[in-house]
Amino acid sequence: MTDHRSPDVRHPAGSIFGTALVAMVTPMRPDGSVDEPAVLALVEHLLAGGCDGIVVAGTTGEAPTLTDDETVALIEAVLARVAGRARVVAGVGTYDTAASVRRARAAEAAGADALLLVCPYYSRPTQAGVVAHCLAVADATDLPVMLYDVPARTGLAMAEATLVDLARHPRILAVKDAKGDLFEAMSVMDRTSLAYYCGIDELNLPYLACGATGVLSVVANVVPDRVAALVDAVRRGDLDTARAVQAGLTPLVRAVMGSSPGAVTAKAALVGLGVLPQASVRLPLLPASPDDVRQLREALAARA
């Protein structure tokens, strides 16, 4: 593998990935097929609410059950509707380095602005293996890369030393942190040029206050305007407003990020808002339970 790494430099990550990013759900019909008209309607909802970055085919987008062809078609459809109004980031990570490289190249060919690369899961490689995997994908295209550190899903955390090492690559520019270790995040931000994006909606405000560039939110599917307002308030240094926004979001965050996966609850909430026509998901996910729907309805009513 060619080593293209270079010394750390400060990157304008906000302009590369955006600051108020959404982990977009993938609308589906009851037969499980991707509902492209609903995809386009959702994109308009997200843009109107102020999202400046849309992650396509991430975990919340049910990437593990999307085919390669569906993923490319989804990226192309979102890009066409976005038309330069936001950055489009393609999720390409798998547990197979060769497959991740193929997906990265396909996303680049489709026109994606950047890549989201999850830590390889299931195989549980060594940290050296994680580095080799991420470098292989970063070397495969000319696109900027955001790493995704989510040990609750992958069974493996990216060590601080691993993140520092990967930060030397000129295209690895950011981290979606769903680990929740604020002290480590601050340490990595201090030691590298990596931009941090909070990947835990419950902790968006603390991460932003500690220096994160932005958020990559599931709840932003439902209330993109509120999530964008939170990011904007912190960036302006108005922590009183930021705290008020976060407090207002708490019931919805609890309902969306509660007992069921965010892909399930976010779709159910979007149906409740009239943005999506149905909340279909693919197995092994199941539709939202009656209790989930009740909690979402109550949270949305309280917001109104």
Helices 127-140 and 97-110, packing angle to 10 deg: 30
Write down the residue that tokens 């050296």 correspond to: 128
End-to-end Cα separation, the chain, in angstroms: 54
CA gap 257, 52 in Å, rounded: 22
Tell me which residues are annotated as active site: 148, 176
Q: What is the spatial distance between Cα 4 and Cα 65, in angstroms, rounded to a whole number?
A: 33
Kindly state the tokens that stand for 116: 């989201």
Q: What are the start-end ranges of the H helices in the chain?
A: 13-17, 36-48, 68-82, 97-110, 127-140, 151-154, 160-166, 182-191, 204-209, 224-235, 239-256, 262-273, 290-303
Nearest to 34 by CA among 79, 68, 74, 64: 74
Q: How far is CA 174 from the centre of its chain?
A: 12
225 touches 26 (CB < 8 A):
no
